Structure 1
């Protein structure tokens, strides 16, 4: 058996003075609190980013295919032909080969790889802006026309009242899906009728009547206050387009991490020169830059918690060494080397860290479970886009946090353990 480990185990189970026991408990608590906070921060930030991204992607799709002259202003529309060679067959595209660019030691290296998934769905849409007049109130609105290829999987979760749009095959639907914000602002409810006024390309004022069939709330107030869903044929009629003309296509992918490669694949391999493909991250860069900033917050929190853990463990180690001065002197007099004695205290410190990690994981994962199940922590949906703090436990990250905390903390303890080398065995044996 390893000599240092054997002695460390005896010391750990043998107890010690009341003061040193108290310091050890404080060190365990510090490690446990640090791990709890790191797990909570990692899970909360991962959940927050995923929920916000899911809402944006669900409302807009992952990739937009539009006319090249389509500006970033979603109110400007250019018609494209619905009959495209890629529509709707592109939804069957699976994994795609691409060249990944990676940085190694300051140099960019290319390697051939595959995407994690492929393309899940494609749907057409049309946009046009107008003004709602209802109950003596006026409200600007952007109507998003959708067709029979629309994927209701996302919006069904956020439908608060009513039902999805009815779009008969034979006739044009007059139904409209408005947000909770618009309904409250204009005092509208299911079944109410109102007018929307448009300005045609010939600068003529057009009026169309709509009936409220459903009310949704995504929590993305910036979009909830602007958009309503209608039958795509209504937009085509207002714009004077045929049923074969749309604003563009929304593409949904299996894995968000494939967004870049699949956008390039669609643009270079599937589209004719008359069309352009752009990912939603490029189109709404400000929101995704803000989400990326959350990674900085996560690293800051993890760094601070590691510092707390390291400082407390250094303090505990120094106290343990001073408490065992007599034992150190005895071991040295029996021929033990400084490094073997230092390893005793490093093993002891590792035991303390592992106990702290155990309780930290238990408490941290327990709090994550409670939040995920009962939603104890609520948020202001107006500012944070979410009503409840979301949780996403990434088990790989949890494992990495545990291993990283153990290894980094022990590395920082190697230098303080040098105090063992400064103890004179003759004086230590007489030390009381």
Structure 2
């Protein structure tokens, strides 16, 4: 049997030997490991969850990639492109693409008897993926939208409904100003809420036919095509494939096709999300450093209180390297105990928030109503492995204090 591991285990099981100084010091060091690991697990879960939820809301109301005219840099007033079946087939043949859908937009204004508000009327066709809207639908229903008939029905957001005192079944009058004023009366069929003010404060959803008629476009023309990729990590690759297939090509009306990713369309949002990565690295480094330094202080106190034992082992022929292994093994046991408690605390907090949502946020500021949590076993394993390796590595240098302990003096040490 490995005698160094045997001694380390005996010291660990002896409740730190009942020493008056080392016992509280080791408990503090173990608590430092547990708290640091718990904070890292919670921080990573919250940041990953927040990034994914905000990203999903951005692409949920649009798409991972948008194909429009090269002049359509502004999503609110764009030049139409021909979005026929042949173009859709070219895009759908790309392996990374999972779904395509056409859309058009028209800026206008909603007016009631005592209030008014600017808005964007977005038209979608029968291939529109309802999953996102269905998830965020609060009242009413999502009507069947087509590109061949006017439904005269519209989905409005909760914020718009509250400002204009609208409810399901109400009639609302919308106005569109170009050379002259055009009006459309629409019926509220449903109310949604994404908590993403960028969309909730602006967009009304109706059929593609109505919006194209308001724009005065041909039946084959659309404002753009929203594209969803199978794997978000392949976003750039998918966009490159689309660009190689259709970019710089013109439709029958002379408009040039252009594809852009959601990150290129909303750079301010994704740059803000990328800044969160810096925050999480700062937290990981600080927590690992705190845990490591508390463990260093605990190890030094244990070594000093075990000076007599170290002298006896040296007198019996043990070398410095073997004795260092004893104390490093003991440190691994203590770190492991702290990590077990850290995992229990961190994962328990994440599970409570994930299922019961006790911690809430202001959606007007954070775009989500509760603190988002994403459970990710892979990240938890990496955090645990990294914490263990870094903490043990930080203890190697302090363990060399053992080489300065002389047997003759240390045996008499009290």
Count of aligned pairs between the two proteins = 406
Q: Distance in 1 between matches of 2:410 and 2:198?
A: 71
Partner of 2:100: 122
Q: Distance in 1 between matches of 2:188 and 2:268?
A: 32
| 1:23 CA drift (Å) | 1.5
Of 283, 304, 307, which aligns to 1:325? 307
Kept in 1, the 8 Å contact 2:147–2:208? The answer is no
Q: Distance in 2 between matches of 1:2 and 1:292?
A: 48
Partner of 2:253: none
Q: Distance in 2 between matches of 1:157 and 1:243?
A: 30
**Residues 309-324 of structure 1 aligned to structure 2 (within 5 Å):** 309-324=291-306
Per-residue Cα deviation, 1:291-338 (whole angstroms, up to 9, x for no partner): 011111111111111111011101100010011110100111111111
Describe the shift of the 1:328–1:141 C-alpha distance in structure 2 as closer, same or farther (beyond 3 A). Answer: same
Q: Distance in 2 between matches of 1:376 and 1:8?
A: 43
| 1:171 CA drift (Å) | 3.7
Kept in 1, the 8 Å contact 2:90–2:245? The answer is no
SS at match of 1:177: strand
Q: Distance in 2 between matches of 1:366 and 1:4?
A: 35
Q: Distance in 1 between matches of 2:51 and 2:147?
A: 39
Partner of 1:112: none
SS at match of 1:87: helix
Describe the shift of the 1:195–1:279 C-alpha distance in structure 2 as closer, same or farther (beyond 3 A). Answer: same
Partner of 1:159: 137
Per-residue Cα deviation, 1:62-99 (whole angstroms, up to 9, x for no partner): 0000011112x2222111112252314633532xxxxx
**Residues 190-269 of structure 1 aligned to structure 2 (within 5 Å):** 190-200=168-178, 203-269=179-245
Partner of 1:2: 2
| 1:170 CA drift (Å) | 6.7
Do structure 1's residue 273 and structure 2's residue 275 form an aligned pair?
no
Of 42, 45, 48, which aligns to 2:47? 45
Q: Distance in 1 between matches of 2:164 and 2:44?
A: 41
Partner of 2:92: 91
Normalised by the size of structure 1, how large is the TM-score?
0.91
Partner of 1:66: 68
Of 330, 333, 345, which aligns to 1:348? 330
RMSD: 1.4
**Residues 286-325 of structure 1 aligned to structure 2 (within 5 Å):** 286-325=268-307
Kept in 2, the 8 Å contact 1:123–1:250? The answer is yes
Q: Distance in 2 between matches of 1:19 and 1:170?
A: 82
Give unmatched runs, 5+ long, in structure 1: 95-117
Per-residue Cα deviation, 1:339-366 (whole angstroms, up to 9, x for no partner): 1111111110111000111111111111
Kept in 2, the 8 Å contact 1:135–1:187? The answer is no
Per-residue Cα deviation, 1:221-278 (whole angstroms, up to 9, x for no partner): 1210011111111111111112211001000011111111100101102556121110
| 1:184 CA drift (Å) | 0.5
Kept in 2, the 8 Å contact 1:176–1:229? The answer is yes
Partner of 2:254: none
Q: Distance in 1 between matches of 2:72 and 2:369?
A: 34
